[in-house]
């Protein structure tokens, strides 16, 4: 279907009045001299209904799109519930207040240095494709997180995930955003992000419970917030500890930078959580 565009400056005048009402043949649009011939060569049809008419345009190669279709975006914020079944070594990640698994994170303790401690799968169990992994380095407060599959370890994109202060209240990591044709934020595509997870008592994920205190006092700080180093006032994600029906916490993502970004947020906070669990056992 040809796009009809209202272009009031592109006016043509019918020669019907010059030819007379009884003239044979269709009315012909006479081009205004001030417009170049290249413009008129792009016209596929001229529709005339009065002395001044609007033009129906069609390029010889491409059709003009009057109203571009906006890119689909994910409603924000995105919220995940994170579960850790009793006596198990895996996390189940669902959409908030849903029972359907979106992700499954397998946990292997005391592995060889070449074996990931955490493997995140895009599906209900470990048979689903793996999309991210993490190494919790022994005798260290630093980690490695990777984007990719255990099926092709040579292609995994590794990032350092480091404790940046003595108290362990800040952990830094980085990633490069992936460029896609429908990127929700094209200006940030292929940008390098410098990110920090910070302990927080001031912000809580929507639906999260009050701070948890008790023998495991490390949860008393309520949770973590994710910021970008150049804009620390903007909270990009929040993780709030929780103990509702086996749920360990709620992860809330406030920005839409695509699946790779969401994957990085997930694997990094799961690594922090698993490291804190191991520290008190």
**For the chain, domain boundaries:** 78-178+190-209+220-278
Picking from 247, 218, 224, the residue whose alpha carbon sits closest to that of residue 85 is 247
pLDDT at 229 over 70: yes
Report the alpha-carbon distance of residue 41 to residue 37 in Å, rounded: 6
pLDDT at 165 over 50: yes
Q: Pick 78-178+190-209+220-278's CATH classification: 3.20.20.100, 2.60.40.1930, 2.40.160.200, 3.30.1330.10.
A: 2.40.160.200
- The answer to whether 34 touches 53, Cβ cutoff 8 Å, is no
Q: How confident is the model at residue 168 (pLDDT cuts 50, 70, 90)?
A: confident
- For residue 128, give Cα distances in angstroms to 91, 93, 121, 150: 14, 13, 6, 11
- The answer to whether 136 touches 144, Cβ cutoff 8 Å, is no
Percent of the chain with pLDDT over 90: 45
| CB count in 10 Å sphere of residue 78 | 17
- The answer to whether 258 touches 178, Cβ cutoff 8 Å, is yes
Q: Report the run of H or E that residue 151 belongs to, with start and end.
A: none
* Token reading at 272: 């922090």
Among the ranges given (107-111, 126-130, 218-222, 257-261), the one the predictor scored with the smallest mean pLDDT: 218-222
Report the alpha-carbon distance of residue 143 to residue 162 in Å, rounded: 6
Report the alpha-carbon distance of residue 159 to residue 168 in Å, rounded: 19
Mean pLDDT of the chain: 74
User: How confident is the model at residue 34, as a pLDDT?
Assistant: 47
- The answer to whether 146 touches 134, Cβ cutoff 8 Å, is yes
Picking from 172, 167, 170, the residue whose alpha carbon sits closest to that of residue 200 is 170
Report the alpha-carbon distance of residue 140 to residue 162 in Å, rounded: 9
Q: What is the arithmetic mean of pLDDT over 239-253?
A: 89
Looking at the DSSP assignment, which residues form a beta bridge with residue 125? none
Q: What is the arithmetic mean of pLDDT over 146-156?
A: 96
Q: What is the arithmetic mean of pLDDT over 122-126?
A: 95
Report the alpha-carbon distance of residue 54 to residue 240 in Å, rounded: 59
User: How confident is the model at residue 279, as a pLDDT?
Assistant: 53
Percent of the chain with pLDDT over 70: 63
Report the alpha-carbon distance of residue 66 to residue 59 in Å, rounded: 13
DSSP 4: B
* Token reading at 149: 């599959």
> ∠275-276-278 over CA atoms, to 5°?
65
Q: What is the pLDDT of residues 180-224, one digit of tens each?
A: 555 555 455 568 999 999 999 888 998 776 554 444 444 445 799
Q: 3-class DSSP state for residue 264?
A: helix
Report the alpha-carbon distance of residue 134 to residue 68 in Å, rounded: 41
In sequence order, what are the residues at sequence separation of 6 or more whose Cβ sits closer than 8 angstroms to the Cβ of residue 115? 108
- For residue 141, give Cα distances in angstroms to 44, 93, 162: 68, 25, 7
């Amino acid at each position: 279907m040809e796009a009809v565009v209202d272009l009031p400056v592109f006016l043509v005048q019918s020669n019907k009045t010059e030819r007379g009402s009884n003239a044979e043949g269709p009315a012909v649009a006479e081009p205004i001299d001030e417009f170049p011939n290249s413009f008129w060569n792009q016209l596929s049809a001229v529709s005339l209904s009065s002395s001044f008419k609007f033009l129906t345009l069609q390029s010889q190669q491409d059709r003009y799109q009057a109203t571009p279709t906006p890119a689909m975006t994910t409603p924000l914020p995105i919220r995940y519930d994170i579960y850790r079944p009793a006596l198990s070594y895996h996390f189940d990640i669902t959409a908030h207040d849903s029972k359907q698994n979106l992700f499954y994170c397998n946990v292997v303790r005391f592995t060889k240095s070449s074996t990931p401690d955490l493997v995140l799968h895009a599906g209900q169990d470990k048979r689903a494709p793996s999309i991210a992994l993490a190494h919790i380095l022994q005798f260290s407060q630093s980690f490695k997180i990777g984007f990719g599959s255990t099926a092709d370890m040579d292609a995994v994109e590794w990032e350092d995930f480091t404790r940046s202060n003595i108290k362990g209240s800040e952990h830094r990591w980085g990633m490069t955003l992936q460029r896609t044709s429908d990127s929700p934020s094209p200006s940030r595509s292929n940008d390098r992000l410098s990110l920090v997870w910070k302990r927080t008592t001031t912000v809580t994920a929507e639906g999260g419970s009050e701070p948890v205190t008790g023998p495991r006092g490390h949860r008393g700080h309520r949770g973590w917030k994710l910021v970008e180093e150049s804009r620390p006032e903007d909270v990009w994600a929040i993780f709030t500890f929780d103990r509702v029906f086996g749920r360990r916490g709620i992860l809330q993502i406030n920005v839409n930078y695509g699946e790779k970004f969401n994957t990085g947020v997930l694997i990094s906070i799961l690594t922090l959580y698993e490291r804190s669990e191991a520290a008190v056992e």
